[in-house]
Amino acid sequence: MSDNCQILKGWDPQTDLLDGRGQHMRAAIYARVSTEDQAKEGFSIAAQSKRLNAYCKARGWGLAGEYVDDGYSGREIKRPAYQRMMAERDKWDVMVVLKMDRIHRNSRNFAVMMDNLRDWGKEFNSMQESFDTTTAIGRFVMDTIQRIAQLESEQIGERVKMGMTQKAKKGNGYLGFGEPYGYDYSDKKLSMKDEEAAVVREIFITYLVGASLQEIVDGLNARNIPAKKGGAWTKEAIANILRNPLYCGYVHWDGILRKGQHLPVITVDQFNSAQIESRLRARKEPRVDNLVHVGLSEVVHG
């Protein structure tokens, strides 16, 4: 008998399937029902479990575990049984569901899950849609779905960028994400936080009189002055403040600089001086494309 031939006791070639390693496939059955599904025929936990168990038996897959989330939405990933199934992935080879929407109702979450399963060497099978990554056609379908999800994500990103660019050109408020240090952001407007604004002024002034980024960091942390979200100050945080034209009253997006509708913390001269100082310390020629040019144009493209 060839060395490559294996004898598996109790294996029936008519009913038992093997994975690529010549081992019995171990199936993790996942069933879910949300409150909105309760009244729908065929979506009960008992009905899903019965059909999935019968399906795995017909495929010759051993049952490694049964995971049930009762009353949880498919749009959420923080489901106890789902999380436990992922944590116990060493116990199973293929995840089996009745329908794809039982595992995820969000295409992006589904794509992330499929990426993880591929990295872990696991398979996925959706009984009703015949979506089965243990087969070549199933893997092809999975790849197509993931490419569509990637295209959707990129198109969303392009639309967001276009919208932000239009907003920058029209000058309709703040263009960033979250609250910048020194300001509150509410009702689509920035309002100054006096205590944090005073720290920003100190950062600019201290830097302009010769202090290094590390010296500024050490001084603020020694006085227990909290950075954004209450954390400790870092050189990167200081550098980000020093090069942000927001603090002299301007908003910047993708090469567009426009006068903002918020109160400035420092003057334009102070901001420009900090940019020149930064270039000089880096032993580079001062540039004009990162300065705020007041009076040249209401909108500056740089």
In tens, the pLDDT along 128-158 reads: 876 777 777 777 776 776 676 566 656 666 6
pLDDT value, residue 302? 38
pLDDT tier at 71, thresholds 50, 70, 90:
confident
174-217 tens-digit pLDDT = 555 568 899 998 877 889 999 999 999 999 999 999 999 999 99
Please report, rounded to a whole number, the percentage of residues in the chain having pLDDT higher than 70: 70
pLDDT value, residue 266? 94
74-110 tens-digit pLDDT = 888 889 999 999 999 999 999 999 888 888 877 778 8
Highest mean pLDDT among 150-164, 165-179, 264-278: 264-278
Are residues 96 and 59 in contact, defined by beta-carbon separation less than 8 angstroms? no
**What mean pLDDT value characterizes the chain?**
78
pLDDT value, residue 57? 92
* Active site members: 34
Domains of the chain: 26-147 (3.40.50.1390), 171-301 (3.90.1750.20)
pLDDT value, residue 126? 87
236-270 tens-digit pLDDT = 999 999 999 999 998 876 667 778 888 999 999 99
Least confident of 27-31, 95-99, 160-164, 278-282: 160-164
pLDDT value, residue 4? 40
